[in-house]
C-alpha cells in the first residue's frame, strides 16, 4: 500500500486536509496516511506522529519558546524519510516547518505536493523561488496567486477554496436561538477570539471590554470557543472580566456567523469563512509587541484581512494591535449597525466572493493531483 506523509500544523489545515482524506475514502482510494494533523484528519485515517496541539503557535516569540520541540520534530521526520520514505509528501500551508521539510524530501527524491501556498505575496516574496525549486506541484486556493505562479514558472493548479465545501448551516436562526437561549428581539453581536491559546489571551479580554462598552440592554453577545483552545483558560478570562451575560457557542460556529447581525473576527481563515457566509464583520489582529514590530518591517501589503485582500478592496474594517481595545471595537460595531446603508453595502460587496472563488470542489481537485503524482 502506498504511503502519503502529511503536515497540517494548524486547525484550518486540519479541516482543509480532512475533506481531501474523506474524498479519498469516498472514492475507495486506499493509501496509508501518516504525519502531522488534528482530530478531523485522524477521523479519516491519519496516523499522527506528534501531539497536534503543540503546533498551534504564531509569531516570532511563540515559535522561539517551542524551538526544542520543532527541532525534535524535524529530526524524526528526516529519519523517517531516510529509513521508510513515503511515496508522496503533502504539505499544507504552515511554511515555517513545511519549507524545511520540502527541502529534505526534495533532496531524497520524494515527490512534494504543496497544498495551500505560503503567503509569499505578503512577506518573504523570495519563497516563490524556493517553492519552484523544492515542490513538484503546488495546489493553491486563492485565485489571484495564479498570476505569480504563471509569471515565475511554478507548476501549479487552482483547486478552488475549501470553505465552499466546508461551510454547512445545520440549524436555522429560530432553532439556534432556542438552543442557546438567545433573545430574538435583540440584535446579536458575535465574537470569534481565535483558535490558539495565545490569540485568546490577547484578544478575548479586549472583546469582553467591548461588551462592557456596548451592554445597554439592546444586544445579545455571543462568543465562540474553538475546540483547539483551553476551556479552562477561556472560562478564566471570562470569569475575571466579571461579564456574565454572554452566550458561549461551542459547536455551531457557522450558524453563529450566519445568524448574528455583526461579528468581530480574529484575523485568519475565519475571516474568509465569515465573508463567504455574508454577515458584516470587523477584523481584529493582535500579537506580541516584538512579533508585531518585526512583522511591520517585512510585510509588504496594506491589508491583513483575507476578504479585503481577495476582493482587493477595503470592505470590512481592520483593527490592528493597539487599535484592538474595547472602545475602538464598540465604536466600529455601532458605526456599522447604526447605518443601514453601510451595513447593506458590506453585505453586497461580500457576495462577490462567491464569484471570485469559483465553483471547483477542492477535495475532488486534490484527489486528482494526488492520483496523478502517485502514478507518475
Q: Give residue-wise pLDDT tens across range 326-367.
A: 999 999 999 999 999 999 999 999 999 999 999 999 999 999
Q: pTM here?
A: 0.88
pLDDT band at 220 (very low <50, low <70, confident <90, very high): very high
Q: Does domain 173-357 have CATH number 2.40.40.20?
A: no
Place of cell 513545511: 98
Write the CATH number of the domain with boundaries 3-160+360-374: 3.40.50.2000
Distance of CA 366 to the CA centre of its chain: 18
**Beta strands 219-224 and 246-249, pairing class:** parallel
Handedness of CA 287, 289, 291, 296 (dihedral sign): positive
State phi, psi for 263 to the nearest 5 degrees: -135, 155
Query: Would 3-160+360-374 and 173-357 be classified into the same CATH topology?
Result: yes
Closest CA to 124 of 282, 283, 300, 269: 300
> Ramachandran region of residue 278, left (φ > 0), alpha (ψ -120 to 50) or beta?
left
**pLDDT exceeding 90 applies to what percent of the chain?**
81
Kindly state the average pLDDT of the residues 210-225: 96
Q: Give residue-wise pLDDT tens across range 16-45.
A: 999 999 999 999 999 999 999 999 999 999
Least confident of 36-40, 196-200, 234-238: 196-200
Number of H helices, E strands in the chain: 19, 13
Domain boundaries, the chain: 3-160+360-374, 173-357
Kindly state the average pLDDT of the residues 170-189: 97
Residues 61-98 as b/e (b if ≥16 CB within 10 A, e otherwise) read: ebeeeeeeebeebeeebbebbeeeebebbbbbbbbebb
Whole-angstrom distance, CA of residue 138 vs CA of residue 31 = 21
Least confident of 54-68, 175-189, 207-221: 54-68
Long-range contacts of 185-188 (CB under 8 A, 24+ apart): 186/218, 186/219, 186/220, 187/218, 187/219, 187/220, 187/261, 187/262, 187/337, 188/219, 188/220, 188/221, 188/222, 188/259, 188/260, 188/261
Bridge partners of 158, per DSSP, are: 140
Amino acid at each position: 500500500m502506498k504511503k502519503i506523509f502529511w503536515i497540517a500544523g494548524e486547525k484550518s489545515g486540519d479541516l482543509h486536509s480532512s475533506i481531501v482524506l474523506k474524498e479519498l475514502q469516498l472514492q475507495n482510494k486506499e493509501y496509508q496516511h501518516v504525519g502531522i494533523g488534528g482530530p478531523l484528519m485522524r477521523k479519516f485515517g491519519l496516523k499522527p506522529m506528534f501531539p497536534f496541539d503543540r503546533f498551534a503557535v504564531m509569531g516570532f516569540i511563540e515559535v522561539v519558546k517551542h524551538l526544542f520541540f520543532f527541532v525534535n520534530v524535524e529530526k524524526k521526520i528526516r529519519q523517517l524519510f531516510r529509513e521508510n520514505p513515503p511515496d508522496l509528501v503533502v504539505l499544507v500551508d504552515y511554511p515555517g516547518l513545511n519549507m524545511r521539510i520540502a527541502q529534505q524530501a526534495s533532496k531524497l527524491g520524494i515527490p512534494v505536493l504543496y497544498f495551500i501556498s505560503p503567503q509569499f505575496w505578503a512577506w518573504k516574496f523570495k519563497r516563490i523561488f524556493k517553492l519552484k525549486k523544492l515542490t513538484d506541484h503546488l495546489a493553491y486556493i486563492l485565485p489571484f496567486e495564479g498570476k505569480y505562479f504563471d509569471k515565475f514558472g511554478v507548476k501549479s493548479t487552482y483547486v478552488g477554496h475549501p470553505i465552499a465545501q466546508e461551510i454547512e448551516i445545520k440549524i436555522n436562526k429560530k432553532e439556534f436561538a432556542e438552543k442557546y437561549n438567545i433573545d430574538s428581539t435583540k440584535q446579536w453581536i458575535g465574537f470569534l477570539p481565535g483558535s490558539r491559546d495565545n490569540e485568546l489571551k490577547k484578544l478575548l479580554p479586549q472583546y469582553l471590554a467591548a461588551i462592557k462598552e456596548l451592554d445597554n440592554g439592546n444586544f445579545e453577545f455571543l462568543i465562540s470557543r474553538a475546540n483547539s483552545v483551553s476551556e479552562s483558560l477561556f472560562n478564566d478570562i471570562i470569569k475575571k472580566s466579571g461579564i456574565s451575560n454572554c452566550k458561549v457557542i461551542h459547536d455551531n460556529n457557522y450558524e453563529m456567523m450566519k445568524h448574528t447581525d455583526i461579528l468581530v473576527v480574529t484575523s485568519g481563515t475565519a475571516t474568509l469563512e465569515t465573508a463567504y457566509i455574508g454577515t458584516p464583520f470587523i477584523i481584529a489582529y493582535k500579537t506580541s509587541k516584538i512579533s508585531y514590530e518585526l512583522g511591520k518591517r517585512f510585510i509588504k501589503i496594506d491589508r491583513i484581512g483575507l476578504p479585503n485582500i481577495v476582493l482587493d478592496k477595503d470592505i470590512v474594517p481592520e483593527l490592528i494591535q493597539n487599535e484592538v481595545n474595547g472602545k475602538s471595537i464598540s465604536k466600529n460595531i455601532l458605526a456599522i449597525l447604526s447605518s443601514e446603508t453601510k451595513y447593506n453595502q458590506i453585505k453586497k460587496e461580500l457576495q462577490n466572493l462567491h464569484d471570485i472563488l469559483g465553483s471547483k470542489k477542492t477535495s475532488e481537485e486534490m484527489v486528482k493531483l494526488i492520483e496523478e503524482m502517485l502514478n507518475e
